[in-house]
């Protein structure tokens, strides 16, 4: 089977955009919601505590885990798009 030539520049641009987007979401949730916006979120109760504290304790961790699965899913799609799928 002949190998297709992939456009590695476009592949890495798409990969870096995906990583940057994931980092922005992660930073917003872990730094923004847990630290900067905590006073605004303090009045919203979640599970016996306020929403800002929840983001600082559980929300940022759960968001990070979701981002890991999202990144793996999206990278599989990019690999297939550029002919690198398994």
Element (H, E) at 46: strand 45-46
Q: In the prediction, which pLDDT does 2 show?
A: 41
Q: In the prediction, which pLDDT does 1 show?
A: 41
Query: pLDDT band at residue 68, thresholds of 50, 70 and 90?
Result: very high
> pLDDT for 2-58, tens place per residue?
445 667 889 999 999 999 999 999 988 888 877 888 888 788 888 888 887 877 778
Whole-model pTM: value is 0.76
How far, in Å, CA of 59 to CA of 12, rounded? 30
CA 12 from centroid of its chain's CA atoms? 17
């Amino acid at each position: 089977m002949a190998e297709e030539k992939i456009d590695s520049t476009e592949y890495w641009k798409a990969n870096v955009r995906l990583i940057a987007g994931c980092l922005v979401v992660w930073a917003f949730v872990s730094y923004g919601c847990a630290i900067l916006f905590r006073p605004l979120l303090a009045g919203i109760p979640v599970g016996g505590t306020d929403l800002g504290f929840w983001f600082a304790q559980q929300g940022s961790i759960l968001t990070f885990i979701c981002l890991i699965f999202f990144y793996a899913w999206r990278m599989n799609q990019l690999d297939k798009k550029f002919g690198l799928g398994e």
